[in-house]
């Protein structure tokens, strides 16, 4: 460590591991802060007993399940309903009225929850709009997109099911209005759930959702380095319409973007997009017409019109995209099927919902152009508010005279009926086969069937427990700290209770000793004073702080202690009560008295012996009881 060489090697091994994750699974973590990223990876390495990054890469290559465990550790899913209530209150009271005032009564309101984790934030937005607009208008106008890179978290979000503990931040009337009990969990109301669309999206790489009124990305930017944060903010600026609002987390702010965002509340991290272009718009290259060809303009226009009519007449929806990623044609069926308009021609294809629903088409377009072959996707499911549709998608590169790809045509063939029919036939066939097998099994081996059913029930119960265990979210750093605080509070409470018990016991013992008129002195095995009662103070005039932890036989207080040494030693060694001894003494008033001293053995153990073990009792001390007797013949 003195020459500083191992640290760069470790950093290079981490970078090599990140490149491996990107190439093997498509997760690009190179934009994350190395401090937090390295800490999360090392935590998983410790759990997997991997000594180095190279060893852990070997583990990933041999165990595919380890990828999921690693991603769950890196992707910290910390969320809750209306997290940071003060910020949400500002959003409801100050931002939402202005947002609604800017949109027309029939305009669609588009909201994006980026990094939505298990969905609580997206559903909180749905509740907020339903409370402000009313349920019916929210169902008509509001569309909320919830995105994340964690597939497991997205599965939880899509289910809309949460335990009772997760609903504790909600007011009782909100729980009753927006959640229905489903077994041990509570499900978000289905009609409002259909207005929330969940999908996988990487804010560092994928094209943003556009034309947004509100973008919520809370406590996600803080995990990225400065360069990646800048790129993400650029995408967010492009995604928001003019006057749209950006809602960040407590740990994030836009100090260097005052020219693009106005600050509504720095405390609550709410910003408004200022007027101005997000980026240079795409302008298609103009068609160059040579001089002398003006007479053919009408012919060319007519041919183009006929071509568009022919494409519109094709029985399947079709969209054409040029090599720059710009939409150059949308036929009539595509406009009707996917809600597209003529204004979408000339827009970047990545801005259209059809580019990633029902399937990610941008990568397929790039692959088809690179490989110069037609790609086919069968049975892609597209969910709508009422039901699901299935399409066979054909991605066909179009080549020019020079053999180079000039555009890509995407054709959608609706196979919903055929898919549903195949699914129904398959289900019926499976039901018939199952019924036949069950009939044979019932006729031949009733007893075996009962045993198998019992085994199946036990397996289902086990599977259910495993699923419940799997659905529990990973604790984040904040949650770990919260858990630690709770444990400390529990320990403090236990210590407080024990302290009270000790105080009660001490008070009880002091009351007992105080009630005894005689002097009580407790000596340990080295004959040092361990206790000096108030009666001893009254008898000899020495305070307890003057004698505690001092040798008893070295004290000078009017009692000839040397006359007691033999009896004290005998009591300690034999562990039996000694015979009382009367010795002449002088009390604190200087009056001669006869002092009668009784000896009792004292067991000095502070914990009981182990059960079943027999041995010599631990040596303790001795208790001296001193009673004052007036000396005979005293004046």
Q: Where are the alpha helices (DSSP H) in 26-119?
A: 34-47, 53-62, 65-74, 85-90, 96-102
In angstroms, what is the C-alpha Rg of the chain?
41
What DSSP letter does each residue of 164-179 carry, written as one string?
GGGGTTS-HHHHHHHE
- Flag whether pLDDT at 561 surpasses 70: yes
pLDDT digit string (tens) for 318-340? 999 998 889 988 887 888 778 78
Residue 594 has pLDDT above 80, yes or no: yes
pLDDT of residue 6 exceeding 70: no
**pLDDT at position 124 over 90:** yes
Stretch 532-549: mean pLDDT: 89
Rounded Cα distance, 264 and 156, in Å? 33
Rounded mean pLDDT, 253-257:
66
Looking at residue 2, its pLDDT comes to 38
Q: Which helix (H) or strand (E) holds 148?
A: strand 142-148
Q: Regarding predicted confidence, which is higher, 154 or 303?
A: 154
Please give the Cα distance from 335 to 384 (Å, whole number).
16
First-to-final CA distance of the chain: 86
Is 201 a residue whose pLDDT tops 70? yes
For 64, the token pair is 């595919």
Per-residue pLDDT for 618 more than 50? no
Model confidence pLDDT, tens digit, residues 162-173? 999 999 989 999
Mean of the per-residue pLDDT values for the chain? 80
User: Could you tell me which of 412, 391, 392, 408 has the C-alpha nearest to residue 400?
Assistant: 408
pLDDT of residue 475: 53
Q: Which of 90-104, 136-150, 510-524 has the lowest mean pLDDT?
A: 510-524
- Does the pLDDT of residue 294 top 90, yes or no? no
Number of Cα atoms under 13 Å in the Cβ half of residue 76: 21
Least trusted range by pLDDT, from 301-315, 335-349, 383-397, 512-526: 301-315
Coil, helix or strand for 517?
A: coil
Give the residue among 207, 197, 190 at the shortest CA–CA distance from 146: 197
pLDDT tier for residue 290 given thresholds of 50, 70 and 90: very low
Instruction: Report the pLDDT value the prediction gives residue 95, as an integer from 0 to 100.
Output: 93
What is the per-residue pLDDT across 301-320, written as a single tens digit (0 to 9) for each? Answer: 455 555 556 666 677 889 99
Higher pLDDT, 599 or 69: 599
* Per-residue model confidence as pLDDT tens digits over 8-67: 345 777 788 888 877 766 666 766 667 777 787 888 888 878 888 888 888 888 877 777
């Amino acid at each position: 460590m003195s020459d500083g060489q191992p640290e760069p090697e470790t950093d290079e091994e981490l970078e090599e591991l990140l490149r491996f994750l990107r190439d093997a699974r498509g997760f690009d973590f190179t934009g994350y802060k190395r401090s937090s990223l390295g800490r999360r990876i090392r935590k998983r390495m410790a759990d997997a007993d991997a000594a180095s990054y190279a060893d852990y890469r070997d583990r990933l290559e041999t165990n595919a399940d380890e990828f999921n465990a690693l991603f769950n550790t890196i992707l910290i899913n910390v969320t809750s309903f209306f997290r940071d209530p003060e910020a949400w209150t500002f959003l409801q009271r100050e931002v939402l009225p202005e947002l609604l005032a800017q949109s027309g009564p029939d305009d669609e309101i588009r909201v994006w929850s980026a990094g939505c984790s298990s969905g609580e934030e997206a559903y909180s937005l749905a509740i907020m709009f339903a409370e402000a607009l009313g349920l019916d208008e929210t169902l008509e106008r509001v569309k909320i997109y919830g995105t994340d890179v964690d597939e497991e978290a997205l599965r939880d979000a899509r289910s809309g099911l949460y335990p009772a503990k997760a609903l504790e931040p909600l007011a009782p009337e909100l729980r009753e209005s927006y959640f229905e009990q489903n077994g041990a969990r509570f499900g978000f109301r289905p009609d409002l759930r259909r207005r929330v669309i969940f999908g996988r999206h990487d804010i560092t790489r994928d094209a943003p959702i556009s034309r947004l009124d509100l973008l919520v990305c809370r406590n996600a930017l803080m995990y990225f380095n400065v360069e990646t944060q800048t790129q993400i903010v650029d995408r967010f600026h492009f995604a928001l319409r003019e006057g749209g609002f950006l809602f960040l987390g407590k740990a994030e702010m836009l100090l260097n973007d005052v020219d693009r965002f106005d600050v509504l509340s720095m405390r609550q991290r709410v910003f408004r997009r200022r007027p101005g272009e997000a980026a240079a718009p795409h302008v298609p290259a103009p068609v160059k017409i040579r001089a002398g060809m003006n007479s053919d303009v009408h012919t060319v226009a007519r041919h183009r019109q006929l071509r568009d009519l022919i494409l519109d007449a094709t029985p399947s929806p079709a969209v054409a995209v040029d090599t720059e990623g710009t939409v150059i044609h949308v036929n009539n069926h595509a406009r009707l099927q996917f809600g597209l308009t003529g204004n979408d021609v000339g827009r970047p294809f990545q801005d259209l919902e059809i580019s990633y629903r029902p399937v990610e088409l941008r990568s397929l377009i790039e692959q088809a152009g690179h490989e110069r072959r037609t790609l086919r996707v069968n049975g892609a499911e597209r969910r709508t508010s009422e039901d699901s549709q299935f399409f066979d998608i054909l991605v066909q590169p179009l080549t020019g005279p020079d053999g180079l790809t000039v555009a890509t045509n995407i054709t959608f063939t609706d196979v919903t009926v055929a898919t549903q029919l195949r699914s129904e036939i398959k289900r019926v066939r499976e039901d018939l086969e199952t019924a036949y097998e069950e009939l044979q099994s019932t006729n031949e081996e009733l007893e075996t069937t009962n045993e198998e059913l019992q085994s199946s029930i036990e397996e289902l119960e086990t599977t259910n427990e495993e699923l419940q265990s799997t659905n529990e979210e990973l604790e984040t750093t904040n949650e770990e700290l919260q858990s630690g605080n709770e444990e400390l509070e529990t320990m403090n409470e236990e210590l407080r209770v024990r302290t009270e018990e000790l105080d009660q016991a001490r008070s009880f013992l002091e009351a007992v000793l105080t009630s005894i008129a005689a002097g009580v002195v407790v000596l340990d095995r080295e004959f040092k004073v361990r206790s000096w009662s108030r009666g001893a103070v009254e008898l000899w005039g020495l305070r307890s702080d003057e004698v505690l932890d001092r040798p008893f036989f070295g004290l000078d207080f009017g009692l000839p202690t040397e006359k007691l040494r033999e009896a004290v030693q005998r009591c300690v060694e034999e562990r039996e009560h000694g015979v009382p001894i009367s010795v002449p003494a002088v009390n604190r008033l200087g009056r001669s008295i006869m002092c009668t001293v009784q000896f009792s053995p004292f067991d000095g153990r502070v914990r009981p012996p182990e059960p079943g073990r027999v041995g010599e009792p631990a040596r303790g001390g001795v208790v001296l009881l001193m009673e004052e007797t007036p000396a005979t013949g005293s004046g």
